[in-house]
Structure 1
Amino acid sequence: MSETTDQNKRTVLRLYQEAGNEGRLEVLDEITCPDHVEHYPFPGQAQGLDGLKQRVSMIRAAFAPRFTVEHVVAEGDTVAVMWRNEGAHVGEWFGFPPTGKPVTARGVDVHRLRDGRLAEHWDVVDISQFLLAVGAAPAPAGTAGAGR
């Protein structure tokens, strides 16, 4: 693996640890391109560096998250991450008032870097556990919590 690819992995991991877990949004100024593109933005989320700060802030305010990176795959300027986010639903999330319930989300993010900085982001996130926790979806029959 090239030195550039290794550095790209380290940059992406800083997003999850320093910004996501520690709330140090100022690190995004260092590791993100000003014209960052969010391909699947949250409703109302801006584009660019400010939009990424907004996204991280929204997640932190709603879930008090603890991201765990489970897998990282990098090739050239692209880094893919499989993660788990365990937290509690402590703030409003797109119309769902806080429940205080523990929630876990899992997802895969693909980041493209330019000159060693975050330039683009795509994601697929499994929010089924959140929907069950807040009562927005019934527990499937035969599973823990069904019929409550």
Structure 2
Amino acid sequence: MDMNTDQTRKFITDFIEEVWNQQQTDKLGEYLHPAYIDHSLPAFLTPDHLGLIKWIQALSRSFSHQTTIEDQVTEEDKSIVKIKMRMIHIGEWRGIQPQGAEVSTGGYRFYRLEDGKIREHWAEINGTALENQLTRGKTS
């Protein structure tokens, strides 16, 4: 099933809301292509559905988080979103003990769809800004 640009835009915003913000990983089958590849997961995770589930779970153990889309450019089967992540540090993250600090970071996510589902994903999220806020006690 091919989608038009408006359908692709909504599909990606729904995916971010349901899967990332609400951690409804049981809905991944609705969003991810059977041959899904995630080019942005840490090397210790498999770049597939299972790796994505483990990454969302790990992030959710360390942070209460909310992703907001600040900008989105979509054309047929491709969509890039500029995001802002607002987070509260509730669990250990990369050796940093939880502080309850409110932190934020931003970045970009790029999605390519095939057959009406996400086939590939790339991300560039500013992890350095996040770690600096946690280690220096700064929030933004």
TM-score w.r.t. length of structure 2:
0.86
Q: Per-residue CA shift, 1:100-124, capped at 9, x if unaligned?
A: 2111010101011111111111111
**Which runs of structure 2 are paired with 1:1-148 in the superposition (5 Å)?**
4-135=4-135
Quote how far apart the aligned CAs of 1:98 are. 2.0
Q: Which has the larger radius of gyration?
A: 1
One-letter code of the match for 2:131? L
Q: Which structure shows the bigger proportion of residues in strand conformation?
A: 2
Distance 1:28 1:38, change over 3 A: same
Which 4+ residue blocks in structure 1 deviate beyond 3 angstroms? none
How far apart in 1 are the matches of 2:37 and 2:3? 25
Q: Secondary structure at the match of 1:118?
A: strand
Residue 41 of structure 2 contacts residue 52 of structure 2 at CA under 8 Å; is this kept in 1?
no
Q: Secondary structure at the match of 2:92?
A: coil
Identity of aligned residues (%): 25
**Count of residues in correspondence between the two structures:** 138
TM-score w.r.t. length of structure 1:
0.82
Q: Flag structure 2 segments of 5+ consecutive residues without an equivalent.
A: none
Q: Secondary structure at the match of 1:33?
A: strand
Distance 1:113 1:3, change over 3 A: closer
Q: Secondary structure at the match of 2:83?
A: strand
Quote how far apart the aligned CAs of 1:3 are. 5.3
